[in-house]
Amino acid sequence: MTRARVGIDVGGTKVLGVALDPAGEVERELRRDTPRGDDSVGELIDTIASVARELGADRSLGVGVPGLVTRAGVLRAAPNLDGVADVDVAALLRQATGLDVFVDNDATCAAAAEWRLGAGIGTRTMVLITLGTGIGGGLVASDRLQRGLNGFAGEFGHMVVHPDGPRCPCGRRGCWERYASGSGLAMLAREAATGRRLSHVVELAGGDPQSVRGEHVQDAARAGDEEALAVIDDFARWVALGLSNLTNALDPEMFVLGGGLAAGADLYLDPIVGWYRDLLYQPSLRPMPAIRFARWGSLAGAVGAALLPEVEG
Ligand SMILES: [Zn+2]
């Protein structure tokens, strides 16, 4: 009997589990609310364990969590989970389920999903970037998922691209995710709106420039609004700047862009590729790395978590 492949993605609001069939398609999905409150660790572990049971996990279980995870499966910090710091998630889940438990950062899991079953199939060196509220990252190099010394590799969102830029929740200034994430897009749009441009976008936001969000810009851009398209272009330049820096560091074959903003791939892909081509170092000496949008959308973390037992090592 083949063993069940079950993966669970723990997010700030939802615990999402999937069971994969032998071909790597999602057979079943299950969602639970993420327990909140400072004493919620025990409840969170119970929730994950019950989702794993319901999905039929029989020998192993993969879990993706949003934060810095050590190679041993200890979640050191998770800003979006109440009261979770220095929690040995792997050990607690082993105790609760009796399964072999593999725990990793959610974006690292998403990288595994896209590499083995998604946009990056067949690549040996691939970088996954999730463009959501912040930016997550995962890295495959030399045909292996990379975790770094501590397990903290791939925190690309906190590369500083402007030392005097806006304050980041991490405590520093000008991190890439202040510009190139969903919140970055909203900030660029509010800046443009405060300069009394973007009248159509501000209208969509109910008339207040401070209420402008990314989706208002996207809606106006899809309707052909020139000023909104200019904000998208500015945003694309910030995304491409980070990708060109990562290219110098990692020399990848492909970038896969996932996260919430991947839903607007039709708007972003061309300007990102255009700026990336302009910003790339020594373009005449290398094939340009491919830039693709992710296959798995919001399931990427859970699908990749289900693959962790196979890609460990
Ligand atoms: Zn930061």
Residue range 167-210, pLDDT digits in tens? 998 899 999 999 999 999 999 999 988 876 788 888 898 988 88
The stretch 18-29 carries a mean pLDDT of 96
User: What pLDDT is stored for residue 4 in this prediction?
Assistant: 87
Q: How far is the CA of 278 from the centre of ligand 1 (A)?
A: 26
Is residue 235 predicted with pLDDT exceeding 70?
yes
Q: How far is the CA of 241 from the centre of ligand 1 (A)?
A: 16
Q: How far is the CA of 309 from the centre of ligand 1 (A)?
A: 30
Q: Which of 55-64, 95-104, 260-269 has the lowest mean pLDDT?
A: 260-269
Give the model confidence (pLDDT) of 41-64 as tens digits.
Answer: 999 999 999 999 999 999 999 999
Is residue 1 predicted with pLDDT exceeding 60?
no
Confidence bin at 2 (pLDDT 50/70/90): low
C-alpha span between 248 and 268 (Å, rounded):
22
Q: What is the pTM of this model?
A: 0.93
The stretch 71-91 carries a mean pLDDT of 89
User: What pLDDT is stored for residue 39 in this prediction?
Assistant: 84
- Angle among Cα 302, 308, 311 to the nearest 5 degrees reads 135
Is residue 223 predicted with pLDDT exceeding 70?
yes
Q: How far is the CA of 178 from the centre of ligand 1 (A)?
A: 8
Q: How far is the CA of 89 from the centre of ligand 1 (A)?
A: 24
CA separation (Å) from 262 to 13, 128, 204, 266, 293? 20, 12, 22, 9, 6
User: What pLDDT is stored for residue 79 in this prediction?
Assistant: 79
**Torsion 75-10-58-140 (CA) sign:** negative
Q: How far is the CA of 213 from the centre of ligand 1 (A)?
A: 20
Confidence bin at 312 (pLDDT 50/70/90): low
Q: How far is the CA of 135 from the centre of ligand 1 (A)?
A: 10
**Residue in the block written with tokens 């970055």:** 184
User: What pLDDT is stored for residue 194 in this prediction?
Assistant: 85
Q: How far is the CA of 79 from the centre of ligand 1 (A)?
A: 12
Pairing of the two strands 26-33 and 85-88: unpaired
The stretch 257-276 carries a mean pLDDT of 93
Q: How far is the CA of 157 from the centre of ligand 1 (A)?
A: 7
Chain mean pLDDT for the chain: 93
The stretch 284-307 carries a mean pLDDT of 95
Q: How far is the CA of 168 from the centre of ligand 1 (A)?
A: 5
Q: HSE-up of 211 (CA within 13 Å, CB side)?
A: 9
Q: How far is the CA of 285 from the centre of ligand 1 (A)?
A: 32
SS3 313: coil
